[in-house]
């Protein structure tokens, strides 16, 4: 059974970016009772104010999941280790064993559907266009990406061997509102003069606006044909980084962003890392970021559109307009003078 009005729905990672926006929209638009699993209830005051039942717990603590899932029909698993810092053991404990714990608890609680938030990172930075879901995930040695590959294997195994109705969502680069990685971070880099366009910013970004993704996750929970399937979520054709970052530059009144060829940017990033290490901080521009900004590939969203009936409703121009309004309202940008 897909999600219906009146259901009790659990969102893991509810104080995170994707989980938070999902929980908020589920409670206001879908007529379901939403529980948010949160490690730190102090961070969840806003969720509680919006009518979400805050349940303390941790996906690395199986006992806490039993109570959280009791009586739930649908689970959205959005909790993950996303930080670039962390050992393999730390990342695996959350992304792989944590997912196994969620799956086990869902089976024990008789959950009717589990929607697992994965990532297009599972394709291992394959440099091809229109990568679709027939393309097998691959490990490349990147801790985060490899952990997401293994987490998907856990989820699909529960479907194949134990009949848990699962759906795997693979977002591309999620921006909009308070996105830590693709909104707040570039904004800060531009503001502090540390944004470099690699090779003139001609390489490709694969954006998806946060509410387009949430629309897709809700489809994953409702559509019967989605069960047992993985879906890419991306807004459409890729966009050059100069256009994507250029939108943030305009919000800050910056006319032109500095550009550098890849080898120069790589060296600059190595220097930033060194400087940051001396100060005991993390570099906002590092070599991993520089490498990611040189990627030329794209993901197909055809399957999500045909099987789920999903359409990305918000295009880049409108997404950036809504993002700017959110950033101004939340003090990240000066309010526009009337």
Transcribe 200-227 into DSSP letters.
Answer: GGTSEE-EEEHHHHHHHHHHHHH-GGGT
In sign, the C-alpha dihedral spanning 50, 52, 56, 57 is negative
At residue 338 the predicted structure's pLDDT band, cuts being 50, 70 and 90, is low
Angle at 23 between CA 97 and CA 142, to 5 degrees: 35
CATH code reported for the domain at 8-171 = 3.40.50.720
Q: What is the mean pLDDT of residues 250-278?
A: 93
pLDDT in tens, 197-232: 999 999 999 999 999 999 999 999 999 999 999 999
3-state secondary structure of 330: coil
For residue 76, pLDDT beyond 60: yes
Domain ranges of the chain: 8-171
Q: How many CB atoms lie within 10 A of CB 31?
A: 12
pLDDT, position 286: 84
Catalytic residue among 148, 282, 303, 336: 148
CA nearest to 70, candidates 101, 110, 103, 39: 110
Q: Given this model, what pLDDT does residue 85 score?
A: 77
Two structure tokens written together for 132: 């679709």
> What is the phi/psi pair of residue 74, to 5°?
-130, 140
23-27, 57-61, 249-253, 286-290: lowest mean pLDDT where? 286-290
Q: Which pTM does this prediction carry? A: 0.96
State the Cα–Cα distance between residues 53 and 56, nearest whole angstrom: 10
Asked if pLDDT for residue 337 goes beyond 70, the answer is no
pLDDT digits (tens, 9 = 90+) for 85-104: 789 999 999 999 999 999 99
Q: Is the dihedral of CA 77, 79, 82, 88 positive or negative?
A: negative
pLDDT at 67: 94
Active site residue 148: yes
| Cβ 323 vs Cβ 183: under 8 Å | yes
């Amino acid at each position: 059974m897909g999600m219906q009005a009146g259901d009790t729905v659990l969102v893991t990672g509810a104080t995170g970016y994707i989980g938070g926006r999902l929980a908020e929209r589920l409670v206001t638009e879908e007529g379901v009772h939403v529980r948010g699993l949160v490690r730190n209830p102090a961070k969840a005051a806003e969720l509680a104010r919006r009518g979400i039942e805050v349940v303390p717990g941790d996906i690395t603590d199986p006992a806490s999941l039993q109570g959280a899932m009791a009586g739930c029909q649908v689970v959205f698993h959005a909790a993950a280790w996303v930080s670039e810092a962390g050992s393999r053991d730390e990342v695996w404990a959350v992304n792989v064993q944590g997912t196994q714990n969620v799956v086990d608890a869902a089976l024990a609680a008789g959950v009717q559907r589990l929607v697992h938030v994965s990532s297009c990172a599972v394709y291992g930075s394959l440099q091809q266009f229109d990568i679709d879901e027939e393309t097998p995930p691959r490990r490349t040695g990147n801790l985060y990406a490899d952990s997401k590959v293994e987490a998907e294997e856990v989820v699909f195994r529960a479907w194949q061997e134990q009949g848990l109705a699962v759906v795997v969502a693979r977002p591309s680069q999620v921006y909009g509102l308070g996105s830590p990685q693709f909104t707040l971070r570039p904004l800060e880099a531009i503001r502090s003069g540390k944004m470099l366009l690699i090779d003139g910013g001609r390489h490709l970004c694969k954006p998806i606006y946060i509410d387009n993704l949430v629309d897709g996750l809700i489809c994953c929970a409702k559509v019967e044909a989605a069960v047992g399937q993985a879906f890419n979520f991306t807004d459409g054709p890729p966009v050059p980084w100069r256009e994507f970052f250029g939108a943030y530059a305009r919000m800050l009144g910056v006319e032109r962003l500095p550009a550098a060829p890849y080898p120069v940017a790589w060296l600059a990033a190595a220097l930033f890392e060194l400087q940051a290490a001396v100060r005991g901080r993390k570099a906002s521009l590092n070599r991993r970021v520089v490498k990611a900004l040189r990627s030329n590939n794209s993901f197909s969203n055809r399957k999500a559109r045909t099987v789920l009936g999903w359409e990305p409703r918000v295009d880049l121009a409108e997404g950036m307009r809504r993002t700017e309004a959110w950033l101004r309202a939340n003090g990240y940008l000066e309010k526009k003078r009337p």
